[in-house]
Amino acid sequence: MSTFSYNQEALKNLNIEDIALLDRLVDFESARESHLNKVKSKVDKRISLKEAVAEYVSDGDVLCDTGFSYVRTCHQAFFEMMRQGKKDLQMIGAPNTNQSYMINCGLVTLSHNSYVGAEMRGTDRNYSRQLKNGKVKILSEWSHGGIAQGLKAAQLGAPGLFSKQMLGSDIMKYNPYIKTMQNPMRDDSDPVAFIPALYPDVAFIHVQVADKYGNACIYGPVVNDIALAAATRKVIITAEEIVPEINLRYVKDGAMIPFIYSDAVVELPFGAVPGNMPGYYYWSRQWWEKLMRYAAPDEEKFKGFLDEWVMGTKDQFEFVEKLGGAKWVAEARRQTKAAESNNEDIDFRYQEYTKDNKADVYY
Partner 1 sequence: MKNDTPANFLEMLAYFISLQIEDHKVVYVGTGLPMVAAILAHKTHAPNITMVYESGGQDPIEGDMPWSVGDPFTWRKAAVIQEMAYSFGQAANGYVDIAFLGFAQIDMYGNVNTHQIGKDLTNPKIRLTGSGGNNDLSSLTENMVLVGLQTPERFPERVDFITSVGHLEGGKSRTEAGLIGRGPIAVISQWGIYDFEPETKRMRIKSLTPGISFEIAQQSTGFELLKPDGDIPETSMIPPDVLDVLRTNVDPNGVFTTMPS
Residue 122 or 312 having the CB closest to partner 1: 122
Residues 6+ apart with CB under 8 A from 327: 360, 361
Does position 131 interact with partner 1 (CB under 8 A)? The reply is yes
Q: With 0-12 CB in 10 A as exposed, 13-18 as middle and 19+ as buried, what is 184?
A: exposed
In this structure, how many other beta carbons lie within 10 angstroms of the beta carbon of residue 254? 17
CB 3 → partner 1: shortest distance, Å?
26
| Rounded Cα distance, 195 and 289, in Å | 36
CB 102 → partner 1: shortest distance, Å?
16
The residue within the footprint of partner 1, chosen from 53, 92, 227, 295 (CB under 8 A), is: 227
CB 72 → partner 1: shortest distance, Å?
8
CB 171 → partner 1: shortest distance, Å?
6
| Rounded Cα distance, 69 and 331, in Å | 21
Does position 200 interact with partner 1 (CB under 8 A)? The reply is no
Query: By rule CB under 8 A, what string of x and - marks binding of each residue 63-102 to partner 1?
Result: ----xxxxx-----------------------x-x-----
Residue 25 or 131 having the CB closest to partner 1: 131
The residue within the footprint of partner 1, chosen from 20, 39, 43, 120 (CB under 8 A), is: 120
CB 321 → partner 1: shortest distance, Å?
25
Q: How many residues bind partner 1 (CB under 8 A)?
A: 70
Site for partner 1 in 159-198 (CB under 8 A): 164-171, 174, 180, 189-193
The residue within the footprint of partner 1, chosen from 60, 221, 297, 312 (CB under 8 A), is: 221
Residue 49 or 296 having the CB closest to partner 1: 296
Does position 127 interact with partner 1 (CB under 8 A)? The reply is yes
Residues 6+ apart with CB under 8 A from 92: 25, 62, 63, 64, 65, 111, 112, 147, 198, 200
Does position 226 interact with partner 1 (CB under 8 A)? The reply is yes
CB 196 → partner 1: shortest distance, Å?
15
Residue 242 or 251 having the CB closest to partner 1: 251
Does position 59 interact with partner 1 (CB under 8 A)? The reply is no
Contact 176, 7 (CB under 8 A): yes
Does position 321 interact with partner 1 (CB under 8 A)? The reply is no
Does position 15 interact with partner 1 (CB under 8 A)? The reply is yes
Does position 235 interact with partner 1 (CB under 8 A)? The reply is no
List residues near partner 1 by CB under 8 A.
13-15, 67-71, 95, 97, 113-117, 119-121, 123-124, 127-128, 131-132, 137-138, 141-146, 148-149, 151-152, 164-171, 174, 180, 189-193, 220-224, 226-227, 276, 278, 282, 285, 336, 338-341, 345, 348-349
